[in-house]
């Protein structure tokens, strides 16, 4: 058995020591991560310093330059180990956080299950079925009442359509007669109309105009003859 195994076995042999809570373990892991981060930053600064010393001595002091490079290698090895340790701690912390979350979820689900059980203990499925049936019946009754109120109530609606139409026509005729009696006709003149000249039967207006034109031409010709006779004498 390795010394490391003996150390952990000896440290965990006491049964009186209680197991840490997830919160305590997470706090310790975060503290360890913070400490290793600071150590990582320190090693990176030392590596840069040793590189600067090696460049400074160069070929002038090879021994000092080689010692600086050796220290740089040791610091780089430690830095690599710290990187691996940080990765392991980060994985362990995430696993512990997930376990703690699952534990809290399981606890809350169990609490909710107990609450649902206590609620359902006071419920009877038969009573629930009876209640739902009663609700359905009451809804049907309410629907029937609403339909009864919405139906049109008729009292003596059985009339003869022909009689109604005839009565309507009589009413319209009476209304039309009233309107006709209210219309005022123009007054008839008291004086008699002037008498029109007698017209010979059988003669149209065109013939009369043609006859009057012939008489005027005959009179004009007589005047011309008289003027010619007077000029000759």
Which pLDDT tens digit goes with each residue over 171-186? 888 888 887 777 665 6
Residues 83, 161: Cα–Cα separation, whole Å: 105
Residues 102, 108: Cα–Cα separation, whole Å: 10
In 3-state terms, what secondary structure has residue 168? Answer: helix
Other Cβ atoms within 10 Å of 43 Cβ, number:
19
The pLDDT-based confidence of 32 (bands split at 50, 70, 90) is very high
Span 147-174, pLDDT tens digits: 887 765 555 556 677 887 888 888 888 8
Q: Does residue 43 have a pLDDT over 90?
A: yes
> Which has more pLDDT, 200 or 124?
124
Q: What is the pLDDT of residue 122?
A: 77
In 3-state terms, what secondary structure has residue 107? Answer: helix
- 124: Cα separation from own chain's centroid: 43
Residues 41, 18: Cα–Cα separation, whole Å: 35
Q: 20-123 maps to which CATH number?
A: 1.10.287.1060
Mean pLDDT rounded to a whole number for the chain: 77
Span 14-24, pLDDT tens digits: 544 678 888 88
In 3-state terms, what secondary structure has residue 102? Answer: helix
């Amino acid at each position: 058995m390795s010394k490391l195994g003996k150390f952990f076995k000896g440290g965990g042999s006491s049964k009186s020591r209680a197991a840490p809570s997830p919160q305590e373990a997470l706090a310790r892991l975060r503290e360890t991560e913070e400490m290793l981060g600071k150590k990582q930053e320190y090693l990176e600064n030392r590596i840069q310093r040793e590189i600067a010393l090696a460049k400074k001595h160069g070929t002038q002091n090879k021994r000092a330059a080689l010692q600086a490079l050796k220290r740089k290698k040791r610091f780089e090895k430690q830095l690599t180990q710290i990187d691996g340790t940080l990765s392991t701690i980060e994985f362990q912390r995430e696993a512990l956080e997930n376990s703690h979350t699952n534990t809290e979820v399981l606890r809350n689900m169990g609490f909710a299950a107990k609450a649902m059980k206590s609620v359902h203990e006071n419920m009877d499925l038969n009573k629930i079925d009876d209640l739902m049936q009663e609700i359905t019946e009451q809804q049907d009754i309410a629907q029937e009442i609403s339909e009864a109120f919405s139906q049109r109530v008729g009292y003596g609606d059985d009339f003869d359509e022909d009689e109604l139409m005839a009565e309507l026509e009589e009413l319209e005729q009476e209304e039309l007669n009233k309107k006709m009696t209210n219309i005022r006709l123009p007054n008839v003149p008291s004086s008699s109309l002037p008498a029109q000249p007698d017209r010979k039967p059988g003669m149209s207006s065109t013939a009369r105009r043609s006859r009057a034109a012939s008489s005027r031409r005959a009179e004009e010709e007589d005047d011309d003859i008289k003027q010619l006779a007077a000029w000759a004498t």
